[in-house]
Chains A and B, each alone.
Chain A
Amino acid sequence: MSTPAAVTRPAAAQTYPIDILLTASRPRRRTGALAASATFGRRAMLKIKHDPKQLVDSIAIPILFTVLFTYLFGGAISGSPGNYLEFLLPGTLSMSIAIVTMYGGARLAQDVTTGAFDRFRSLPIWRGAFVLGGLLSDAARYLFASAIVVVLGLIMGYRPDGGAPGVLAAVALIVAFGLSLSLLWAAVALLMPDPAVVISIANVVLMPLSFASNIFVQPQTMPGWLQAFVEVNPLSHVATAARGLMNNAGGTGGSVAWSLIATAAITAVCAALALHLYSKRG
């Protein structure tokens, strides 16, 4: 080293006791995929803890949709909101979770632009851990949002015939479908890491899924082309399946199967895409 270094070295420089730290040895084993994912999940939960307003979307949307649509349409369609709840609540539950998924995508898009993301990418961990960890915390959010809808429904007078098992099965199905959508937004966010872009694209996809569906009305009164869309719309099938499970109505095995197939298909495609984009990013 050249001499000026010694000359300008600050006299009052703290003695950093880092020398001993630098001799520490490296862990022998690589972090497992699940441990890494769980750590990213924990990171997301810590972020919520420090910034609880992140939960606003998971709280406001379920309340808004459930209350608003019940009283807006309930009287007009079924004569009273009470009767309508049985039909509507499984649908608003499905729709609320579907809408809430896009905010997770926006958060991921935000995350991807930070230096922290670069640091994570420079670690020797499974490349899917970052996104999977995000999904773990998303799952917690969706369960939380589902609980809000169900409790609101109970308060408003909804009595599911399927009981707790039916409700839990419906919530599980809806959350699984929601997580497949989360993977879709994750892929979008990795491709275009801009929260506003992710929200716009998610809206373009989710609005037709939500409204051109059987969530609010049965499709019999719709024109043929719209009925055709409603019938292939996976959110319709999720809502139908949730109705069947929650109300113990039976005859919805087809929709349950359809929902699971759609969930699996979206998950497979988007997971592969997200993994590819994660590696390629930068």
Chain B
Amino acid sequence: MDKSYAMSKNSMDGDEPAIEAHGLVKVYGEKRALDGIDLTVRRGQVFGFLGPNGAGKTTTIRILATLTRPDGGTARVLGHDVISERDAIRARVAVTGQFAAMDEDLTGYENLIILGRLHGLSRASGKQRADDLLAAFDLTDAAGRPVGGYSGGMRRRLDIAASLVVTPDLLFLDEPTTGLDPRSRSQVWELVRRIAAAGTTVLLTTQYLEEADQLAEQIAVIDHGRVVAEGTSAQLKSRVGSGTLHVRLLDGEQRPQAQHILAGALKGTVHLAADPLALSMLLAAPADATDVGRLVGHAMTRLAEARVGVAEVILGQPSLDEAFLALTGYTAGPATTDHEDVNA
């Protein structure tokens, strides 16, 4: 579909990409879970796969991790075919699922020991590795307790630790922070950054725009089993807009005047809300976050100069819904037409 963002892929060197998928299709009964996914992930990259529930993110990961066979299309992972060379891929990738993939009855230590043995570590090095990982992930105190009693954040950390029992060349992280509290979330983010910095390619799925923004160098937006947009965070934001501005006036009589001023100052279309005092607009994204404040400040100054009384100003991050609306073209947001050239 819309692949207007020409990526600078494969530009660095002649290396084969970590992931190269063409036209992946997966059908479950009547539903086309994947409807022709194309994907290229460079080695060493953190690649974000952004989309709502049911978009096809997990199915794509399952195919790339050789857990599910595609019904159509081809994919090579680390240079190996996902159907005919599964074991070669399995030896070098790790998958961390959406739901903590640990044995609840077993202790954290036992979980890691078993995975170490299955990976071919010797008894001694498996124990050493388990101890090191538990220490590194701040789980030493909980090591002897069954995982069933762990908190959500502890489970997720153990889950990621389990993916590192043998350091993978490629790590699939399926919604690593869904359901976590903010502190655990930032811990997981920090871990992902470290893993990527050490040279592991990471394919991360998420429902959160912010998460993709924080972690991923390249983002593909997926919806109904298709990639609907792809680019860097900045490129996508420029299409989505940097957020939504909501303004409530003291006096509804001044709304046409406010509309005119805001449209001029922020260069976009101002929508008149059902509330006779309220206006809103989708903001186009400037190059960095501080500019939004400056632009909005400037617009507020203009309103003040024109003696338009403002009761309330809310500047919201673009939600995934808004991003989606903009990227899929389901609604005609101003940002989809205005800024094709930004950060291209």
A residues within 8 Å of B by Cβ?
Answer: 1-5, 8-10, 13-14, 16-19, 21-27, 29-31, 35-36, 39, 42-43, 46-47, 50-51, 114-116, 118-125, 129, 280, 282
Contacts and interface: CB of A to CB of B under 8 A. Distances in A.
Contacts of A123: 90, 115, 118-119
Given A18-B194, A116-B101, A280-B69, 19 more contacts: A1-B217, A18-B137, A21-B132, A22-B200, A27-B121, A30-B91, A31-B117, A31-B119, A31-B120, A43-B103, A46-B106, A50-B105, A50-B146, A114-B103, A118-B97, A119-B95, A119-B162, A124-B88, A125-B118
29 contacts: A2-B233, A4-B214, A5-B193, A8-B214, A9-B186, A14-B187, A16-B136, A16-B190, A16-B194, A18-B136, A18-B164, A18-B191, A19-B197, A21-B129, A25-B167, A39-B118, A46-B105, A47-B103, A114-B103, A115-B97, A115-B98, A115-B100, A118-B97, A119-B101, A120-B118, A122-B93, A122-B95, A123-B115, A282-B68
Nearest to B148: A50
Nearest to A26: B166
B138 interface: yes
B114 interface: yes
Contacts of B103: 43, 47, 114, 116
Given A21-B164, A119-B97, A29 B120 contact: yes
Contact of B186 (A13, A18, A25): A13
Contact of A118 (B95, B104, B200): B95
The 9 closest A-B CB pairs, nearest first, are A115-B101, A22-B198, A27-B120, A124-B90, A124-B91, A31-B120, A119-B101, A18-B136, A39-B117
A205 to B, nearest CB: 28
Contacts of A47: 103, 105-106
Interface stretch (B11-19, B59-67, B274-282, B295-303): B59-67
B213 interface: yes
Contacts of A26: 91-92, 166-167
B48 to A, nearest CB: 12
Which of A21, A118, A282 has the most chain B CB atoms inside 10 A of its CB?
A: A21
Interface centre among B110, B183, B217 (most CB of A within 10 A): B110
A50 B68 CA distance: 32
A207 B288 CA distance: 71
Contact of B289 (A4, A118, A280): A4
A249 B193 CA distance: 72
Contacts of B194: 16, 18-19, 22
Choose among A31, A36, A114, A124 the residue with the greatest number of B CB atoms under 10 Å from its CB.
Answer: A124
Question: Which of B62, B120, B195, B214 has most A Cβ within 10 Å?
Answer: B120
A18 B188 CA distance: 13
B245 to A, nearest CB: 19
Nearest to B172: A122
A17 B217 contact: no
B203 interface: no
Interface in B175-206: 183, 186-187, 190-191, 193-195, 197-200
A17 B99 CA distance: 25
Contacts, number: 148
Contacts of B167: 21-26
Contacts of B146: 50
B190 A13 contact: yes
A24 B161 CA distance: 14
A114 B199 CA distance: 30
Contacts of B258: none
A62 B92 CA distance: 46
Nearest to A126: B87
Most chain B CB neighbours (cut-off 10 Å) among A27, A115, A119, A121:
A119
A11 to B, nearest CB: 10
A35 B117 contact: yes
A16 B199 CA distance: 16
Nearest to B98: A115
A132 to B, nearest CB: 13
B327 interface: no
A27 B100 contact: no
A122 B102 CA distance: 14
A282 B62 contact: yes
Contacts of A10: 183, 186, 190
Nearest to B65: A122
A121 B67 contact: yes
A9 to B, nearest CB: 7
Contacts of A122: 65-67, 90, 93-95
Nearest to A36: B118
B114 A39 contact: yes
A21 B213 contact: no
B7 interface: no
B97 A19 contact: no
B221 interface: no
